Amino acid sequence: MGKVDLTKGNIMKGILLFALPIFIGEFFSVLYGLIDMRIVGSVLGETSLAAVSSTSSLSEFIIELEDGIAVGFGVVLSHIIASKNQDKVKRAVALSSLIIIALSIVISGLVMIFINPILNFLNVEQSIFDEAKIYIIVTLIGIIFLAVYNLFVAVLRSAGDSFTPLIFLIVSNVLNIILDVVFVRNLSLGVSGAAWATAITQFICCVGCLVYFRIFKKDMLIILYDFVPDMELFKSLVKKGLSMGGIISFVLLGSVVLQTAVNGFGTGIIVAHTVADRIIILCLMPILSVGSALYYFCEQNKEINDIGRIKKGIKQSILLSAVWCVITIVIIYSFSEKMITSVTAVFSEEVVEDGMRYLEIDSMFFILSGLVCIIRNCLQGVGDDKTPLITNVIELIVKVLLTYTLVVWLGSFGVIIVEPIVWTVMVISLAFMLARKKLMITTNRT
């Protein structure tokens, strides 16, 4: 698939068409997470579901870090591919493979070695400690395969193929659900069954990618000869990989800290917080996808210096986000209880009431999250990588401060209002940065 031209034609149509495959891929990923919770909750109950949920922020942080590194490698690879230097392309793929595998082994190994202190830091209570421990350990084994799979995806995307990774993603999620049912329900393997289902799926995806490259991408298939030292290329890959990985995962450190507070409120609150958070991500997915499309929209139009078109794209994206936020508020207030019980299969009063309250309060501030996504992607699209990084640091600091103050004072209700407060601070700071870039939407005619 070649580069989509977003500098011409109907702005909203172009953004929506570009956002559609992004949305489909992310939708299936989030949907899998919800179905996985349903299987664990319906078969194993609230306690086991809490054990899985208690380490979710840690696993998400590691996954996003390694995914970001792979994305960074893909950026470097795209430039090398554009230079038509096939030998260098294969060297870059070989070197990227070595780095991502080594990093994955080191990260997973360190977490396994220090797993007990880490779980204690996360405030995982003793009643779910052992289940949480076995789940995260098996998950870490799978993350090594996931990192390699993410690299394959980055290579394909850098070559202009965004369709094949989408197919792999959909197939892997379907396979993961099937294995979840078999391992958790049929074989009664407990929470470790859910983790092994994911790890095995990730391994199969790695093998599938290797087969695909061997059949359809022979020009990129690496051999022993391609593993040659290249310090300049190594520095370029590490610099871009760690930069992208850091930007993507940095803000999730705040979620890890917040998880320590959530885990202290007991299994019911852990489950309620996790399921509400997943549903919120699903509700915001259309906005996040539009934001990702807006990044490329701004990037392309900045290249031709069409600032007026960029402003129109921002305004139309904000309008679209506002409309979607109103729709989601209506849906959540109408079906919040059904959403919580359908996903968790848990009907305890604490889980249902706290989950409903979480959804209903946070949904009123969805527009702020949408603005954060749109403004941040706009700034990155026009070439400003520094400002989003600074605001990520601000977001981390605010979330940590709120965890150790507001949550301590207000208990589980404090957890619920952390995100709306963070979104508010981010909108203010990002809007200020956007104004400095002279891209603030005004009432003047563009």
pLDDT tens readout for residues 40-76: 999 999 999 999 999 999 988 888 888 888 888 887 8
Residues 49, 344 contacting (CB under 8 angstroms):
yes
Of 1-5, 257-261, 269-273, 337-341, which range is least confident? 1-5
Pick the closest to residue 68 from 392, 428, 437 (CA basis). 392
pLDDT tier, 302 (very low <50, low <70, confident <90, very high otherwise)? confident
Q: In a 3-state reduction of DSSP, which class is residue 229?
A: coil
Task: Identify which has the larger pLDDT, 250 or 398.
Answer: 398
d(CA 27, CA 285): 7
Q: In a 3-state reduction of DSSP, which class is residue 3?
A: coil
**pLDDT for the residue numbered 410:** 92
Pick the closest to residue 394 from 368, 371, 424 (CA basis). 424
pLDDT tier, 446 (very low <50, low <70, confident <90, very high otherwise)? very low
Which residue is associated with the tokens 């070595």? 98
Which residue is associated with the tokens 């209002």? 417
Average pLDDT over residues 284-291: 91
Average pLDDT over residues 247-273: 88
**pLDDT for the residue numbered 2:** 47
Query: For residue range 146-167, what is the model confidence (pLDDT) as tens digits?
Result: 888 888 888 887 776 778 888 8
**pLDDT for the residue numbered 157:** 75
Q: In a 3-state reduction of DSSP, which class is residue 194?
A: helix
Give the torsion through C-alpha atoms of 133, 135, 138, 140, to 10 deg.
-80
Pick the closest to residue 313 from 18, 3, 22 (CA basis). 18
pLDDT of residue 112 exceeding 90, the answer is: yes
**pLDDT for the residue numbered 352:** 92
pTM: 0.86
pLDDT of residue 81 exceeding 70, the answer is: yes
Average pLDDT over residues 363-371: 94
Q: In a 3-state reduction of DSSP, which class is residue 74?
A: helix
Which residue is associated with the tokens 């399921």? 275
Of 56-60, 302-306, 325-329, 357-361, which range is least confident? 302-306
**pLDDT for the residue numbered 444:** 44
Query: For residue range 377-418, what is the model confidence (pLDDT) as tens digits?
Result: 888 778 776 777 788 888 889 999 999 999 989 999 999 999
| Burial status of residue 179 (CB atoms within 10 A of its CB: 0-12, 13-18, 19 or more) | buried
Pick the closest to residue 21 from 159, 147, 175, 164 (CA basis). 164
d(CA 36, CA 30): 10
Residues 77, 217 contacting (CB under 8 angstroms):
no
The set of residues, in sequence order, having a beta carbon less than 8 Å from that of 386 and lying 6+ positions away, is none
